[in-house]
Amino acid sequence: MSIRTATPVPAPAGLFVPRLRAMTVGSVALVSLLAFEALAVGTAMPTVARSLDGLALYGIAFGGPFAAGVLAMVVSGIWCDARGPRAPMWHGVGWFVVGLLIAGTAPVMTALVVGRVVQGFGSGLLSVALYVIVGQAYPEELHRRIFAAFAAAWVVPSLVGPALAGLVVEYLGWRWVFLVVPAVAVPAVLLIHPGLRSLDRTVPTRPPAGALARIGWACGAGVSAALLHIGGQQRGAAAPAVIALALAGLLVCAPRLLPPGFLRAARGLPTVVGLRGLASAAFVGAEVVIPLMLSRERGLSPTAAGLVLTVGALAWSVGSWIQGRFPQPASRASLPRIGLCLITAGTATVALAVRPELPVAVAVLSWAVAGLGMGLLYPSLSVLTLELSAPGEEGRNSSSLQLGDSLFAATVLALTGAVLAAGSAPGPASYVVTLVVAAGLALVGALLAGRVVVDGTTRPGG
């Protein structure tokens, strides 16, 4: 329980009015840094593993930070609801920067893995705290626009991050992929800090009921997610065994971290979290298959195949801009439903490009349609999460939204890897199966989209 002292604040005209300018710039910069680091590390890690003779720890270098992030999201949600987002924000930046410094100066692969885990914990704290800051610092009229800005903050890193990281690795050395980010992260959080002092304060009385149990379940989910990630990179008989064990752990732990009624798609927040997870799983599951399919089946170079993903990222940004600028539809279910229908159509149509008689342009346009759908969907579900959160619940609910997103995506990635590795080499049937499954997940979400509305409204108890 906590006591809030609310001070009504007039709604400003935009994200860059004097009261919000520094907070907007700092928040968007932090999101961009999180995105860049997530994308750049994937480019640098093969070189890192060779340099530190750490190929045996390659899987845990990705699974470890993912597990730490799952735990941190839960901790951040509890912390934000008890004391407000300022402390989790500062601690998140601190853990993130320290982890990067450890990784960037690591003499051996074990030290780099430790740095990555610390960095992942900081990222989890930050991601939830930023959502809570939006809910408390920005008026509802601007929520769609700030979340659109967050989506756009992922686009530039997705376009230039891997290439830039490759240039850094080639000309400066892989360590600078980790060491350059802290120089921007600290100034970014300093921009946010003055605005945090003006937010509604909370005076904690005691930890929320069930907080320790929730952290325990988060540890179980994090370990299971790490195993799932590692299992997806295995080959042979070990892969199914590790994946099965990880899925069992997630089935036990994850429902206790998500809103009650999640498994039955109860109206309101449980469905919002479910839709975000289904959309993320569908998009990520297709995204990892498309370059491989276009390279192997259509003869595209890796660069050309990657450009198809770039088109999807740009379309995502356009969709985010559209939902932030146009009037809110009469029904809160409209944007999620339209977005999921576009993702369904886009991912299903991409599968047709496996046929040699069809032009590659089919894949390009189809993936642009899917990206547009994600742009309409993602910010709208973030806004709905805050609308459905009573005071003091923004942290827990934002944590649930991002947990569902991460865990669904990790599950589909692991299963997709298992399907592609089932034979001696992936073939047309493997690509079609994975893309059809991705489209099916989005279709399920589209059919459930109307359940985000609670008795004609989206507000709790409305």
Angle at 401 (CA atoms; ends 197, 90), nearest 5 degrees: 30
Angle at 239 (CA atoms; ends 233, 240), nearest 5 degrees: 140
Which residues make Cβ contacts (< 8 Å) with residue 161, sequence separation at least 6?
35, 36, 39, 40, 43
Of all residues in the chain, what percent are helix, strand and coil, respectively (each to 5)?
75, 0, 20
pLDDT for the residue 198? 65
Report how far residue 450's alpha carbon sits from residue 454's, in angstroms, rounded to the nearest whole number.
Answer: 9
Which among 387, 395, 403 has a CA at the least distance from the CA of 86? 395
- Whether residue 322 is predicted with pLDDT greater than 60 in this model: the reply is yes
Please, are residues 265 and 274 in contact by the beta-carbon 8 Å criterion? yes
Tens-place pLDDT, residues 208-233: 667 888 889 899 888 888 888 777 66
- Whether residue 425 is predicted with pLDDT greater than 60 in this model: the reply is no
Tens-place pLDDT, residues 429-453: 778 888 999 999 999 999 999 998 8
> How many C-beta atoms lie closer than 10 Å to residue 233's C-beta?
17
Which among 282, 283, 261 has a CA at the least distance from the CA of 272? 261
| Mean of per-residue pLDDT scores for the chain | 82
pLDDT for the residue 225? 83
Mean pLDDT of 84-103: 90
Pick the CATH number of 259-462 from 1.20.1250.20, 1.10.1660.10, 2.60.40.10, 1.10.8.590: 1.20.1250.20
pLDDT for the residue 440? 94
Report how far residue 290's alpha carbon sits from residue 360's, in angstroms, rounded to the nearest whole number.
Answer: 11
Tens-place pLDDT, residues 104-135: 999 998 999 999 999 999 999 999 999 988 88
- Whether residue 64 is predicted with pLDDT greater than 90 in this model: the reply is no
Mean pLDDT of 60-70: 82
Can you state the angle between helices 86-104 and 109-137, rounded to 10 degrees?
A: 160
Report how far residue 371's alpha carbon sits from residue 377's, in angstroms, rounded to the nearest whole number.
Answer: 10
Tokens standing for residue 227? 């195993």
Report how far residue 449's alpha carbon sits from residue 339's, in angstroms, rounded to the nearest whole number.
Answer: 10
Tens-place pLDDT, residues 130-161: 998 888 888 888 888 888 888 888 877 777 77
pTM of the model: 0.83
pLDDT for the residue 447? 95
Residue range(s) occupied by CATH 1.20.1250.20 in the chain: 16-201, 259-462
- Whether residue 234 is predicted with pLDDT greater than 70 in this model: the reply is no
Q: Is 402 helix (H, G, I), strand (E, B) or coil?
A: helix
Please, are residues 7 and 180 in contact by the beta-carbon 8 Å criterion? no
Tens-place pLDDT, residues 287-312: 888 887 887 787 877 667 777 888 88
- Whether residue 454 is predicted with pLDDT greater than 80 in this model: the reply is no
Report how far residue 270's alpha carbon sits from residue 258's, in angstroms, rounded to the nearest whole number.
Answer: 8
Report how far residue 290's alpha carbon sits from residue 439's, in angstroms, rounded to the nearest whole number.
Answer: 13
pLDDT for the residue 101? 92
Tens-place pLDDT, residues 154-180: 877 777 777 777 777 777 888 888 888
| Percent of all residues in the chain with a pLDDT value above 70, rounded to a whole number | 88
- Which amino acid is located at 353 in the chain? A
* Confidence label for 269 from pLDDT (cuts 50, 70 and 90): very high
* Confidence label for 6 from pLDDT (cuts 50, 70 and 90): very low
Classify domain 16-201 at the CATH topology level. Answer: Growth Hormone; Chain: A; (1.20.1250)
pLDDT for the residue 232? 66
Higher pLDDT, residue 185 or 119: 119
- Whether residue 337 is predicted with pLDDT greater than 70 in this model: the reply is yes
Mean pLDDT of 267-272: 92
Report how far residue 309's alpha carbon sits from residue 72's, in angstroms, rounded to the nearest whole number.
Answer: 29
